């Protein structure tokens, strides 16, 4: 898994991130979602290296073997703004002031926040299977609540989800070595069996209902937009179209340059359709970045 990549931990100021990186060329950071670790990218990352990129795959703060800062009442240590700062500091320490960012699931929110908060750093933004948190919550209806009920369950404080999840993490999260790859699956299982990681992942969702939505709403009110090219990728066997219809139109409300691609996959596109995803990302990353 990740042959030729370096595996290390990098101090980014507030936390230490576990990170794998390899290759040479224009840098791109791949940001995983819940409840995965960076290992979810193990089939995609080598293909991007082969296409001429330096590829960086971190565990987000709170996830996998990255640092897990103490919880605060406002959940700000697990807000996407904090995770975006981590990415900028990580890439700076690896020698990259400007870079592309690709995010899936919860990682899409981190990627979006990085592009909004640090427009001078991000050359390209790819978001996979997600719309901005503020938009998702504003559009929440019975279909969303039925499909994505875990957002609200994981976000509870009075009856914390951690007690339920930690009783049987394998039953709760699922996954299999056949679909994920044996090494990636074992890495993921180590993470979900760590109560500190489970708590941190719940904090991610609590931040989503609080500071993350507030940040999105403030940006919309202020008219802030994403200035780099954006690729919105959606899995045809997931529920983006059912929930939002033309979900790319939502991203066009946030950015001037939005491209769209349908991926023949279920939700975990990096594991289920790595070749198609790598091809689409390679083509997109060749697009002229913001500022030339």
Enumerate the active-site residues.
Answer: 105, 267
Q: What are the DSSP calls for 246-271, one per residue?
A: SHHHHHHTTBS-EEEEEESS-S-HHH
Contacts (Cβ under 8 Å, ≥6 apart) of 193 = 169
Helix, strand or coil for residue 8? strand
SS (H, E, C) 67-107: CCCCCCCCCHHHCHHHHHHHHHHHHHHCCCCCEEEEEECHH
CA dihedral 283, 286, 291, 292 (to 10 degrees): -140
- Cβ atoms of residues 83 and 75 within 8 Å: no
Instruction: Name the nearest CA neighbour of 106 among 272, 268, 256, 286.
Output: 268
User: 1 burial class (0-12, 13-18, 19+ CB within 10 angstroms)?
Assistant: middle
Helix, strand or coil for residue 12? coil
DSSP state of 139: T
| Cα 25 from Cα 27, distance rounded (Å) | 6
Beta strand pairing call for 99-104 and 54-58: unpaired
């Amino acid at each position: 898994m990740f042959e030729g990549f370096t595996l290390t931990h990098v101090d980014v100021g507030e936390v230490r991130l576990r990170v794998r990186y390899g290759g040479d060329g224009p840098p791109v950071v791949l940001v995983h979602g819940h409840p995965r670790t960076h290992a979810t990218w193990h089939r995609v990352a080598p293909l991007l290296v082969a296409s001429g990129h330096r590829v960086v795959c971190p565990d987000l703060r709170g996830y996998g073997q990255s640092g897990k800062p103490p919880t605060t009442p406002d959940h700000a240590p697990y807000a996407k703004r904090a995770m975006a700062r981590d990415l900028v500091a990580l890439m700076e320490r690896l020698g990259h002031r400007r870079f592309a960012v690709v995010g899936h699931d919860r990682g899409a929110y981190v990627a979006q926040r990085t592009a909004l908060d640090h427009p001078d750093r991000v050359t390209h933004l790819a978001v996979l299977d997600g719309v901005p948190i503020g938009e998702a919550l504003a559009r929440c209806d019975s279909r969303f609540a039925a499909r994505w009920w875990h957002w609200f369950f994981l976000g509870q404080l009075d009856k914390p989800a951690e007690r339920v999840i930690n009783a049987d993490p394998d039953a709760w999260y699922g996954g299999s070595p056949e679909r994920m790859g044996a090494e990636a699956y074992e890495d993921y299982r180590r993470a979900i069996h760590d109560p500190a990681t489970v708590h941190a992942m719940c904090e991610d969702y609590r931040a989503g209902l609080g500071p993350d939505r507030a940040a999105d709403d403030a940006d919309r009110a202020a008219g802030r937009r994403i200035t780099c090219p954006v690729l919105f990728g959606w899995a045809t066997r997931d529920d983006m179209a059912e929930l939002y219809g033309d979900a790319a139109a939502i991203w066009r409300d946030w950015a001037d340059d939005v491209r769209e691609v349908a991926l023949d996959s279920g939700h975990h596109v990096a594991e289920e359709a790595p070749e198609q995803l790598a091809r689409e990302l390679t083509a997109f990353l060749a697009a002229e970045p913001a500022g030339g």
